[in-house]
Amino acid sequence: MEEKSFSRSKTAYEQAKKLMPGGVNSPVRAFQSVGGSPLFISKADGTSLWDIDGNQYTDFVGSWGPAILGHNNPSVRKAVQEACEGGLSFGAPTLKETTLAQEIREAVPSMEKLRLVNSGTEACMSAMRVARGYTKKPGFIKFSGCYHGHCDFYLVKAGSGALTFGSPNSGGVPANIVKDTHLIPYNDPQALKECIASHSDIGTIILEPMMGNCGFIKPETEFLETIRELQSEHNICIIFDEVMTGFRVAFGGAQSILNFKPDLSTFGKVIGGGMPLAAYGGNSKIMACVAPEGDVYQAGTLSGNPIAVTAGLETISQLKNKDYLVLDQQSKKISEGMKSIASDYNLPIQTDHCGGMFGFFFTKHRINNYETSSHLSTKTYQRFFQYMLQHNFYFAPSAYEASFLSFLHTNPQIELFLKHFKNFCEYEMEQSV
């Protein structure tokens, strides 16, 4: 087939680099780990993206999660357009904020009280402040490879872009800011116990209940049980970062699948229906620490923005009637299909899935945390990414990211992808001979 032209995207990238660091507004978008120039997108609809060169792709990124109903959902778009007629921002309470909070609480019972904010970073930053305000202990545990936004005290072996660029510790973060951040491996219950036993200042544990920023990795039973024990026996405040998993792996989030009630949770992406919106909340006693009820301060002019809240309400109202088992079966078809095909060609791969998320690592080694992810072949992923781009499939431009399905992805699309994956495996085998 004739190789695609990305000439307009390349020109746009050169222009953008003159005005923005790296030419992008978020690092992974720069394509540095997969090669070539980033695609500049002109529009999205359903399961498809179009770049400014006119190329169309089946999208398995979904704006990094929120497009669970597909891009440009007609009902969400109409609701947003109607809401815009009433104004874009008030900086004052609206009835829709209360309605959305009620919808979130009904779907996720642990969210007894919550606060709406604008991004996952803001939600995770605020949740930790509340946890520290409640426990009166500054120390907390995070797990290497888990990404909780770009707040200073989280940028220690964070996932996603930090892993992609091989620079897990960000410049500009003073050492004293991260001195209370205790870093241990995900899925390592013994390290978790030892860390708690060795540090009396630890009052909080934050984790992605299913990792999505170091590839897709599920928690192991013993690891999760250890966290549950620490929660009850040591009165540790547990924060689930469900910015990715919330309303995506299940309507009630990962916590509904894992049967775990965290003290606090953060949500984003899906609850905004593609608009900038997130939330943090949980135990009403802990949330009583938040101003104006308590002394933990957090504020924002655009928190609960009426347009974003409208998009979120319409999205959640549709998701109520969706069958997440169907979504899980689709992601299973991709995950197990890739594994079976790769096995036929002796291409090392590890795959997994849950609900609308799936992931894969090009390695023969079992990967259950950031430390073991060093075994994966980023060069193989780079070739996979470029091959799929040429064949009209768009994946994350990083080997350290989960992939996402929407309710609009069809069996024929999945079968076509698996056909091209088979061709990719054949290509890889030929190159290795």
Query: What CA–CA distance (Å, rounded) separates 282 from 297?
Result: 17
400 annotated active-site: no
Active-site choice (269, 280, 328, 381): 269
In SS3 terms, the chain reads as CCCCCCHHHHHHHHHHHCCCHHHCCCHHHHCCCCCCCCCCEEEEEECEEEECCCCEEEECCHHHCCCCCCECCHHHHHHHHHHHCCCCCCCCCCHHHHHHHHHHHHHCCCCCEEEEECCHHHHHHHHHHHHHHHHCCCEEEEECCCCCCCCHHHCECCCCHHHHCCCCECCCCCHHHCCCEEEECCCCHHHHHHHHHHCCCEEEEEECCCECCCCCECCCHHHHHHHHHHHHHCCCEEEEEECCCECCCECCCHHHHHCCCCCEEEECHHHHCCCCCEEEEECHHHHCCECCCCCECCCCCCCCCHHHHHHHHHHHHHHCCCCHHHHHHHHHHHHHHHHHHHHHCCCCCEEEEECCEEEEECCCCCCCCCCHHHHCCHHHHHHHHHHHHHCCEECCCCCCCCEECCCCCCHHHHHHHHHHHHHHHHHHHHHHC
241 annotated active-site: yes
Query: What CA–CA distance (Å, rounded) separates 362 from 424?
Result: 13
Active-site choice (134, 147, 324, 370): 147
Contact of 395 with 388, CB cutoff 8 Å: yes
Q: Which of 265, 244, 249 minimizes the C-alpha distance to 115?
A: 265
Please name every residue paired with 278 in a beta bridge, in sequence order, or none if there are none: 117
* Torsions phi, psi for 266 (to 5 deg): -125, 140
Active-site choice (241, 263, 328, 352): 241
Contact of 33 with 396, CB cutoff 8 Å: no
180 annotated active-site: no
Q: Which residues are catalytic?
A: 147, 241, 269
